[in-house]
Amino acid sequence: MKSAKGIVKNVYAVRLEAGEDIIEGITMLCEQYNIKHGVIVSGIGSLSKASFCDPAPFPEKPGGYGYGDTIVLEGGIELISLSGVICDDDDKNVSLHIHGAFADGEGKSYAGHLVKENHVLITVEVIIEEFENIYMARKFDEERGMMLFTPIQN
């Protein structure tokens, strides 16, 4: 286990508007306020397009798994839940790891790891907490063959 202890420094509330991409919008907010270490506590709203992926077997990878092909839903999509971590990468750029849960017009539910192309239909409301005394990083893990969340005590 890897862990670190810190405190909530700031809380941010943001409303993404029609046509905006969720990942691009949250990245812009983080850059605007210099948020490097935090969490997406809550996110709800509606999407005209949802793009995400789920774990799939990759026998050639060290951990045997990775993210599979992108799943795309179009039309009126309900964003039931959004959560994730806000880190910075080795070059000090914002690095997001976001998961979401969705429902289509018939109430069928979906969930997964967000990729770009999640477009707001009417609104998406997001609450973010910024941390102090925790260095939130995504580092390459040799054992799994992918970037993984690594909290470091600051």
Q: How far apart are CA 108 and CA 133, in angstroms?
A: 41
What does pLDDT average to over the chain? 93
- How far is C-alpha 76 from the geometric centre of its chain's CA atoms? 21
Distances (CA, A) of 73 to 29, 86, 116, 124: 25, 25, 13, 16
Q: How confident is the model at residue 35 (pLDDT cuts 50, 70, 90)?
A: very high
Q: How confident is the model at residue 39 (pLDDT cuts 50, 70, 90)?
A: very high
pTM of the model: 0.90
Q: How far apart are CA 92 and CA 88, in angstroms?
A: 5
Fold of the domain built from segment(s) 11-132: 60s Ribosomal Protein L30; Chain: A; (3.30.1330)
β-strand partners of 86: 38, 96
Quick one: tokens of 152? 């470091």
Q: How confident is the model at residue 119 (pLDDT cuts 50, 70, 90)?
A: very high
Residue 144 has pLDDT above 80, yes or no: no
- How far is C-alpha 36 from the geometric centre of its chain's CA atoms? 13
Domain boundaries, the chain: 11-132
Find the mean pLDDT for residues 117-129.
Answer: 98
Find the mean pLDDT for residues 84-102.
Answer: 92
